[in-house]
Amino acid sequence: MEKEVRSSYFKESFARLKTHKLAMAGLVVLSAEILIAVFLPFILPLDPYSTDMGAFSSGIGVGGHILGTDTIGRDIFSRLIFGGRVSLFVGFFSTAVSLLIGVPLGLIAGFVRGAAEAVIMQITDIFMSFPAIILIMAAVAIVGPSVWSVSIIIGLLGWTQFARIVYSKVLSVAQMDYIESARAIGTGRLSIIMKYILPNSAAPILITSTYSIANAILTESALSFLGMGVQPPAASWGNMVYEAQSIAILSSKPWIWVPAGMAIVIAVLSINFLGDGMRDALDPKINI
C-alpha cells in the first residue's frame, strides 16, 4: 500500500515535470550533452592531443577542422568534446562526494542530536564562512591539480548544503506522528531513517544535487581558467578559455575561446532549467 502511494507521488511529479517546457528542454539538452561527450569519441576519430603541423590556429572549417584549431594546431572540436567529458565528470563526481559526506552528517546531526549535532553544525558554519573558491584554490595548489584532485576537493568543500538540508528535513519529519507510531511499535532508528526520513528528503536532495553539479562545473572552469585546475594537454572547457588571456587570441581568434565558453553556459543553463522544473514538480504545494 505504502509503496503504491510513493510511486504515484513520483509518477505525478514526473507528469508535472513533463508539462514544464524549460525543464524538458534542459533535460533533452543535458542528455544529449552526456551522450555526445561519452559516445562520440567512439564513433568519430576525434583527436584532442595531436598537433596539425599544417594548421596552427586556423579558422573554422580550414583543413577539415570543423571548429578550427588552437595555437598549437589541436582540433578545437575534439577538445570541446573531451573537455565536456572532464567538465561533466567533475560536476557529477564532486556532487557524489558531497552527498556521501553531507547526507550522513545531516542525518546524524538531526537524529542523534546532542553534542554530535552541535559539533556538526558548528563545522558546517565554519565551512560556510569561507569563500569556497579560495579554499579550493589553496587546496588544489597543495595537492597538485588533476581531474581527480579537483573534483574531490570541490566535493569535499561542497557538502555543507546537503548536511543542512538533510538536517532540517530530519528535524521536521522526526516530529511527525507517523514517526512517533513507528517508534511506538518498536521500529529501530536505522530503519526509521531508511524507510521514512530518507524518502522524505529525496526531493530536496535531488534538487540541491542539480544545482551542486552546475556549481561544480562553474568552479572547475574558473579554476582551469586561472591555470590552477585541469592542466594541458588534457582539455577542459575552462583551460580552453584560458588561452584568451592573451590579448592577440582574445581579439583576433575568437573561435579558440568562444565555443568552450558557450559550452559551459549551455551545460549549466540546461542543468539549472532541469533543477528549477524539478523543484516546481516535486512540490505540489507551490503553485506559482
Partner 1 sequence: MEQDNSCLFVFHNNTITIINFKKSTFNSILMGVMNMRLQAQGGYMKSKYFMKRIVIAVPTFFGITILVYFLASLAPGSPLDAFMKDPRITADELARLKISLGLDKPVYVQYWNWLCNLLHGNLGYSFSGQRPVFNIIKERIGATALLAASSIVLSLVISVPLGVLAASKPKSKRDYGSSILSMLMMATPNFFIGLILIYFISVKMKLLPSSGMYDANGTKNVFMLLRHMILPCLVLSFQQIGNWVRHMRSGLLEVLTEDYIRTARAKGLSKWKVIWKHGFKNAFIPVLTVIGMSVPTLIGGAVVTEQLFGWQGLGSLMISAINARDYPVIMGTTVVISVIILLVNILTDIAYGCLDPRITYK
Q: Which residues bind partner 1 (CB under 8 A)?
A: 22, 113-115, 117-118, 121-126, 128-135, 137-139, 141-142, 164-165, 167-169, 171-173, 175, 203-204, 207, 214, 218, 221-222, 225-226, 228, 238, 241, 244-245, 247, 250-251, 254, 257, 261, 264-265, 268-269, 272-273, 276, 279, 282-283, 285-286, 288
Closest to partner 1 by CB, 5 vs 247, is 247
Closest to partner 1 by CB, 50 vs 71, is 71
Q: Please say whether the beta carbons of 166 and 102 come within 8 A.
A: yes
Closest to partner 1 by CB, 45 vs 114, is 114
Cβ at position 226, least distance to partner 1 in Å: 6
Cβ at position 154, least distance to partner 1 in Å: 12
Cβ at position 224, least distance to partner 1 in Å: 10
Tell me how far apart the alpha carbons of residues 56 and 52 are, in angstroms, rounded to a whole number. 7
Tell me how far apart the alpha carbons of residues 147 and 154 are, in angstroms, rounded to a whole number. 11
Cβ at position 269, least distance to partner 1 in Å: 4
Q: Please say whether the beta carbons of 95 and 209 come within 8 A.
A: yes
Please state the separation of Cα 1 from the chain's center in Å. 35
Cβ at position 272, least distance to partner 1 in Å: 6
Query: How many angstroms separate the Cα of 93 from the Cα of each of 26, 179, 245, 248?
Result: 20, 33, 29, 36
Unique residue bearing C-alpha cell 596539425: 52
Q: Please say whether the beta carbons of 72 and 51 come within 8 A.
A: yes
